Copies of this chain bind each other. A is one copy, B any other.
Amino acid sequence: MSVQSTHVHVAGPVVDMARSPNAALRPVPLSAVRLHDGFWAPRIHTNRVVTLPAQLRQCEETGRIDNFRRAAGTIQGDFQGIFFNDSDVYKLAEAMAYSLATHPDPALDADLDAIVSDIAAAQRSDGYLNTYFTFERAPQRYTNLKDMHEIYCAGHLIQAAVAHHRATGKTSLLDVATRLSDHLYDVFGPGKRVGACGHEEAEMALVELYRETGDLRYLELARCMIESRGHNPGIFQNSSYHQDHAPFVDQREFTGHAVRHLYLACGATDVAAETDATGYGGALEGLWESLTQRRMYVTGGAGSRWEGEAFGADYELPNDRAYTETCAAIGSVMWNWRMLNLTGEAKYADLLETTLYNAFLCGLSLDGASYFYQNPLADRGTHRRQPWFGCACCPPNIARLLASLGGYFYSTAESGVYVHLYASGTATLPLATGGTVTLEQQTGYPWDGNIDVKVIENSGEARYLYLRVPYWADGASVTANCAPTTAEIEPGTYLKVDMPAAGTTIGLNLPMKIERVESHPRVIGNLGRIALQRGPLFYCLEQADHPGVDVWDICLPDDVVVSANHRQDLLHGVTVLQAEALALDTKEWDGALYSLYQRRWRSDMRPVAITAIPYYAWANREAGPMQAWLPVAPAPR
């Protein structure tokens, strides 16, 4: 797709790897997927009718949009807020664009045009655009790349512009982005100043701009920026916090600011998809192992430390002080999406799904009106979602992922069609070789593991249907038009089925056993504790369901039966897990913090019926303690 093709009707993919030479899979156009399920479709609706308008109001009321008007000279006054506030407007614009791709809305389109117009008017004649570094601070342009998020803001503008063009075909914002990117190329391109932003983001944005425009300079610039890090001398004093401690190809450990390193990984994956970037693959795989084997919460959350919003050491995964920024979960979803399409490996889709349903979704209230910045896995009832933040990176990041979520459900390949995620809906998927496949999903997922995938039509040459069998789905089975098949099914892979004739329904059954999960013993806060999992969801105990006992005092016997019960009345409809558990009597401690050790027995505890809710749903009722990792009850005497 080139800049000239202004009359696009099919919205492009969220990440357009469809022609990336090294990508195994091809993301599908966002507008190709229609969800009408009971889980995501209402959330996407709420995002559109509640969240987007509220964020637009916040951006107006906090001066974020006025900053553009000021830079354009149409209003007077000081720059308002934090120096990176432009990025929030860009992310919101991106979210609005995605929403238009699936839900055309003239009013929203007009609102977005107005924002675009404000943004465009603020651009300098040389292409530069950052409302903070305008007028009195213009001389400080590019003088503090480490701390001032200048190119980071540019990256978000570029992503918004690409999304806007893909969704609407309009070039009004894309033209702004290309002029700014040309300016960046002139300053930081090959043979010019070696530099990048202290907060990565522009790298993946520039690759997308290359994909959208075909202009190779943007890809070159992205690669220059990635490869500017980690040399001697470093661009940021070799700070590992800024991922400047080693060249990207030598990185094997997530370190420093979590969102930044995850965004860097996104950009590097994009470059690896487009070029023969030698060594990127080893780094990407090493980083993924670092995340999944040593530095990730069971929810998929990343970044353990409050100080610096940073990754901790290996196995450093505190629950009550988990930082696990919502943006880091989003960064991980974005990165796993790229890795999935680069490689075609199911493990990336598994992690994408885990992160989506747990670490990400927890960031948003059920009513779509408030947000978590941090997502602890244990709390005393003091951590509550907020309608906005001074540093408001998370809210529009949540909005843009939800608005584009349909784009993450399918990919295509030479050999057929991949189904990554499950929710009722239809999708008409264009094949690279021409023609389309139209599928219809019917399922109660994530509450129910029965998924019917019906082939509505197949006008191309797709030979196979690939259905993801999640890593937890032991005992999965498959039917064709209700008849059992003998397919061998291995959890954590894609089940490869010959593309059925139109009209055929493939029935995938993913047993949702209730599992007790434990952590590696080096996770010192999880010793003797288990987490409850059912399907893609992790659970927690919240105080609201447990009058008369503090949920931090509850232990779960390791041999007790836990049952799943769907409660449509609760928390917009959730399947809860219920069991007879035990409660410690902490009153015995009578104010003591330390005491001589005594062995405890189950008989020392009182029985208590527990109801666990999905982790994402906590803190939507009255405030109170929450705990996700439950102590295993001691042995019977």
Contact = CB atoms under 8 A, between A and B. Distances in A.
A20 to B, nearest CB: 29
Contacts of A531: 594
A494 B148 CA distance: 60
A349 interface: no
A538 B292 CA distance: 35
A558 interface: yes
A378 B525 CA distance: 12
Interface string A408-436: 00000000000000000000000000000
Interface stretch (A46-54, A152-160, A278-286, A310-318): A310-318
A520 B593 contact: yes
Contact of A597 (B306, B516, B595): B516
A589 B584 CA distance: 31
Interface string A336-360: 0000000000000000000000000
A523 B528 CA distance: 13
A524 B316 contact: no
A376 to B, nearest CB: 11
B593 A519 contact: yes
A134 to B, nearest CB: 29
A621 interface: no
Contact of A631 (B380, B527, B629): B527
A385 interface: no
Contacts of A517: 594-597
Interface in A621-637: 629, 631-632, 635
Contacts of A319: 524
A303 to B, nearest CB: 13
Contacts of A598: 518
A260 interface: no
A382 interface: yes
A558 B318 contact: no
B294 A593 contact: yes
Most chain B beta-carbon neighbours within 10 Å: one of A294, A525, A592, A594: A594
Interface residues of A, number: 56
Contacts of A167: none
Given A307-B307, A524-B525, A527-B528, A558 B592 contact: no
A530 interface: yes
Contacts of A292: 593
Nearest to A474: B596
Name, among A318, A321, A378, A519, the residue most crowded by chain B CB atoms within 10 Å (CB to CB): A321
A321 to B, nearest CB: 7
A586 interface: yes
A315 B525 CA distance: 13
A137 interface: no
Interface string A83-94: 000000000000
A552 interface: yes
Interface in A29-69: none
Given A522-B552, A591-B289, A597 B527 contact: no
Given A523-B593, A528-B631, 6 more contacts: A298-B594, A305-B306, A378-B524, A518-B596, A519-B594, A527-B631
21 contacts: A305-B321, A306-B306, A307-B307, A312-B321, A313-B380, A378-B524, A515-B597, A516-B597, A517-B594, A518-B594, A518-B596, A518-B598, A519-B594, A520-B589, A520-B595, A521-B552, A522-B586, A524-B525, A527-B527, A527-B529, A635-B635
Q: Which 10 pairs, one residue from A and one from B, show the smallest C-beta to C-beta distance?
A: A528-B528, A516-B597, A307-B307, A518-B597, A525-B525, A306-B307, A293-B591, A530-B597, A520-B593, A520-B589
Interface of A: 289, 292-294, 296, 298, 305-307, 312-316, 318-321, 378, 380, 382, 515-525, 527-531, 552-553, 558, 584, 586, 589, 591-599, 629, 631-632, 635
